[in-house]
Structure 1
């Protein structure tokens, strides 16, 4: 069988030998294509060694046709289970110095992959297997999860190629699912109406901190009084590990709030380490204990729904959650001349632009 036409990047190679460069690390890998079966054999990144093996294989093919069928058969090797590789992959990502929250999320997704491809040899997992899995997630309405799992699978196979466990990455040619943003943005008018319906003092303080600092729900719930020093509130973001010093002079004219005043109001008759804390016994929670994340989200949703029930705001099928205050904070601070990227702790302006996008929820003034 004649070899396929040579591509520009492989014209200097002997027949049936191909190269591919990993865009992530710049390493070039070589593979040999059996001209009869079409099966690809990984030859590693050593070009000289790959050339020698390719020339030798081509010579055998030309001089001893009887060996063609034997050479085209799958090479005898111990099984390389995908689940076994995932155990090694866990060790690889453990060395990347990722944030604890990121490691937890990755760990849960790896567990899902282990169950999905249990018992499969890594070389037998093809593009159709990956595409079917990712498409299934998207059809279930989990487009965002489909994109996240595609990104993880791509990295899993890239590392496997680098370690010699497989010759190809079946994820490369798959398409990422399109994500349609459903959740509504929170406008300033909505925030004021929800704030007015907040019955718990700690919810009002949490909302004030959210709109003033632009931090995530987890970080607001973790804020401590001891983190206030040298006229700054010190925050180590749980998701990224980013370290921020937020000046107590930070303020927003649009809501008539400043950070120093909010922190002062967080102190009440109850002794607590936490800025946002229970002031009285609620169920199993004692005074002074921090607010659980689910409790924070539920209280915000209840205040939002009360405001909507009274006609103060209009919400759709996917109303804004507590997290949407992060986007509102970015837009309000930008409108008053402050840099939202530094406030939110983003490394790229592109990510900040996503938060600054009101998704059509606000009017644009044109002079």
Structure 2
């Protein structure tokens, strides 16, 4: 089917031409546009003639790991963020149909218990860091957890676009995992209207 519709012939280079038009309409600062162009050129050097649908998460992960090994951790994370946007826009435009989420490299920057600088950052550290910052704001007795905020974001994206788009943004490999985030578990408000009475007996 892809061969009939021409999707199989759409290259990463072709999509980059479209993507430049998309970001041109965002009214981004010149420095931001320049950084995106740097990352696009990195991608074009590797995959310009590749059918965009053939580029896998592993291909991007290999690129990010190479940057990290060169000591360019900041550039690796910037590349991850921009390529995620590149492929997210490609999915929205119908150029690719599958979930694609570039890997973000998060590493320790200081000693933390047994963890050394450069070690992978444990997910629990992210949740604790979020909780610490949240508690400093004093948001009340029952403030939201990081998971609850991700769940809310997933539901908003699913409502505004589609469940598939929410899966893409959250970086889940399966729709089943996204479905867990889309389940509000009865937490939404239910409005019950009682009949009005002028007096009580």
TM-score (norm 1): 0.28
| Higher strand content, 1 or 2 | 1
Higher relative contact order (CA 8 A, sep 6+): 2
Who wins on radius of gyration, i.e. which is larger?
1
TM-score (norm 2): 0.49
| Higher helix content, 1 or 2 | 2
